[in-house]
Amino acid sequence: MAIVTMSHEMGAGGPEIGQQLAERLGYRYVDHELISDAAHRYGLLEDKLSHLDESKPSLFERFDAETRRYITVIQTALFEFAEQDRVVLMGRGGQWLLRGISHHLRLRVMAPFECRAKRLAAKLAGPMGEKASPRTVMEMIRRDDTERTGRMRYLYEVDLADPALYDLTINTEKLAVATAVELIAGMVDRAELKTTDAGAQLVGDRSLASRVQVALATHPETRKYRITVEAKAGQVTLEGTVMDKALEVAREVPGVRAAKAQQVEIPPIPPFVA
């Protein structure tokens, strides 16, 4: 089986393709459910999770430890859904977070701006045929494009539109939803996308590392520090400047069998030279 991640432009038909693909394959479709699940399991505010999920953090939020915790929770929820396999994950940087995993198919759904604007206008039309103004529709799309691009660059320092992030990019200007689903479903069945033990272990390792990151970002004595976490078959390695308490917190995370520290030495600040 496989993990499918889908990045999509507003108005390009990504959600429709994702839902029908999941139904066709018998996979779980995960979009807003991911945010609700994360909010319920980690006791966070769903409104704030949704805000940070859809747009890049403000300048103030970028320096806020609470923001880092919320973003880490979103990432952890994505990893945990990916661990279940047979899933279609919409957005949230899945194409980057799950990079290098053999049974992961990375999709990009796009369409020309004018095509997207026309589709969105039709979707927003009222029951009596009243239409949203073309200017409003175009502004919605431009704002969404800007926010998605900025969020991806802020979180992972990559360009959302970089073709190297995807295995397949689909332009829906001419393709119907059913045609796109048929094309993707044929790829998912390919032998090279079957789940392997090594691939499943890699997903599990990243999921465990992310759960440790959440624990560190939540604990009052470690939340203000930036600590890098790597995991391999239950063994976690922490890299940072404050280790004793961090190791204690990490060892309490379910799935962690052992934890070790890799201390980062901070060079002394040179004296001021006039």
Q: What is the pLDDT of residues 40-80, one digit of tens each?
A: 777 777 777 777 666 666 655 555 677 778 888 888 989 99
Q: Return the pLDDT at 113.
A: 97
User: Burial, 129: exposed, middle or buried (Cβ in 10 Å; 0-12, 13-18, 19+)?
Assistant: exposed
Q: Return the pLDDT at 151.
A: 87
The answer to whether the beta carbons of residues 236 and 258 sit under 8 Å apart is yes
Is residue 266 pLDDT above 50, yes or no?
yes
Q: Return the pLDDT at 184.
A: 95
Is residue 192 pLDDT above 70, yes or no?
yes
Chain centroid to Cα 271, Å, comes to 43
Is residue 167 pLDDT above 90, yes or no?
yes
Q: Return the pLDDT at 129.
A: 59
Closest CA to 155 of 237, 67, 49: 67
Main-chain dihedrals φ then ψ at residue 214, nearest 5 degrees: -65, -45
What residues form DSSP beta bridges with 2? none
What is the CB neighbour count within 10 angstroms for residue 5? 30
Percent of the chain with pLDDT over 70: 89
* Interior/surface letters 43-72, b for 16+ CB within 10 angstroms, e for the rest: ebeeeebeebbebbbeeebeeeeebbbbbb
Q: Return the pLDDT at 68.
A: 78
The answer to whether the beta carbons of residues 160 and 148 sit under 8 Å apart is yes
Mean pLDDT for 184-203 is 91
Cα separation of 105 and 113, whole Å? 25
Mean pLDDT for 165-192 is 94
Q: Return the pLDDT at 233.
A: 94
Cα separation of 95 and 191, whole Å? 20
Tokens representing 266?
């901070």
Amino acid (one-letter) located at 145: D
Which range in 56-60, 120-124, 162-166 is most confidently predicted, on average pLDDT?
162-166
Is residue 271 pLDDT above 70, yes or no?
no
Name the pairing type of β-strands 28-30 and 104-110.
Answer: unpaired
Of 29-33, 86-90, 162-166, 248-252, minimum mean pLDDT range: 29-33
The answer to whether the beta carbons of residues 30 and 102 sit under 8 Å apart is no
Tokens representing 54?
């859809």
Q: Return the pLDDT at 154.
A: 86
Q: What angle do CA 146, 150, 153 make, to 5 degrees?
A: 145
Is residue 128 pLDDT above 70, yes or no?
no
Is residue 27 pLDDT above 60, yes or no?
yes
Span 145-157, pLDDT tens digits: 998 998 899 888 9
Cα separation of 250 and 255, whole Å? 10
- Residue whose entry in the numeric block shows the structure tokens 């190297």: 164
Better-predicted residue by pLDDT, 25 or 57: 25
Tokens representing 140?
């919605």
Is residue 272 pLDDT above 50, yes or no?
no
Mean pLDDT for 220-239 is 92
| Domains of the chain with bracketed CATH | 3-193 (3.40.50.300), 197-262 (3.30.1340)
Q: Return the pLDDT at 273.
A: 43
